[in-house]
Chain A
């Protein structure tokens, strides 16, 4: 489904990603962990080219994103992304946040887009908030709207960039709950997170990154209980 080959990313002299090779299968939930500065967020942002790629290739469903000739907007529409800071559009209502890309990118008419948006809001449990502006929502509610907005594009893959890191502790559960539900429905997901409980429970595979390399990857149970690499051991001993 997703195939990353020799991915490199530099910011000036700083090499953030050095040589990343990862394959992600359809319906797989891959959790990326690692210390801050390890390049895990940058890796995720390269998967929909929000961050330009310095070298290497990213292929999603047979289409190479890093090919200069592809219509990047069309490919991005097939890759949903959820951000740490939610990034809802503050001048649009909750419903409009979801319908805007459906109408402008997918070219649906307003009625169909609104029906779709309402279905999604119901799914994330926020149908009663359809007509309010994001500023009146709690962090957890904002993130659930952001997930609904990304789902509105009917993506093949969902990327989550530390989706619960900006939330108050009591709101983490509601967001992880929605993500877990998505995983159970068979969505292909790549999740950068510090929630080790989520990684263990929902993840099919955990990737540990450090200093721009994939150090180790394995099934969650194996990786958490029996880490092979010294750096993985040292990281896990600090966070578990």
Chain B
């Protein structure tokens, strides 16, 4: 079997550009997912059923339907009917943000609920109010415990951004498909794309391990 390195060489600048977009969409997805996820976690922990219910179903929907279906739904239906138009990149960012917010919410909730209830009791007994207990006692501890599962979620999200190729967002896999279509070759482009995803996820894993070690001061 011959291996045409020239295809890779020719498409390399496009792969790099695609990787840039993959990183951008993932970073936006992660950041928005964390911010939204935090509030959704608080909402889902409400003691009032009527407050809790919308958050429960938000999470149910986003975790219970395929990401690709959500992407199509947002790109072709939801976003165009709200804003009149959308671009593939915006659709991917919105869908990734909302999807990851559901998973992140569950991670934060698990983190908060894993803190011994004696911590909140002690803080309340010292006269701290609900906000102060959350801010100074529960959140710092819960956040630290959330880092390993959050890391997992980020890696999953980075890989899932490849679904953007299905709506022609010009990320990494998009350029792999383009190269494949132009030369009618499958090995070179897809191996190259796989390798580049691997570099991204391994770098992210390394960074997360470093962060975990750094924050392990109790």
Contacts and interface: CB of A to CB of B under 8 A. Distances in A.
Chain B interface bracket (under 10, 10 to 19, 20 to 34, 35 or more) = 20 to 34
A73 B144 contact: no
B178 to A, nearest CB: 49
B218 A83 contact: no
Given A90-B218, A91-B140, A91-B144, A101 B118 contact: no
Contacts of A135: 218
A105 B129 CA distance: 8
B132 to A, nearest CB: 5
B141 A76 contact: no
Interface stretch (B63-71, B104-112, B120-128, B180-188): B120-128
A213 interface: no
Given A83-B121, A91-B141, A104-B132, A73 B218 contact: no
Contacts of B132: 104-105
Interface majority SS on B: helix, strand, loop or mixed? helix
A91 B126 contact: no
A89 B127 contact: no
Contacts of A100: 126, 136
A101 B123 CA distance: 8
A224 interface: no
B121 A101 contact: no
B137 to A, nearest CB: 6
15 contacts: A50-B121, A73-B128, A74-B127, A76-B127, A77-B127, A79-B125, A83-B122, A89-B141, A90-B141, A101-B123, A105-B127, A135-B218, A149-B126, A150-B125, A153-B127
Given A76-B126, A135-B218, 13 more contacts: A50-B124, A73-B129, A76-B124, A80-B126, A81-B122, A83-B121, A85-B116, A87-B116, A87-B122, A101-B126, A104-B128, A105-B132, A150-B125
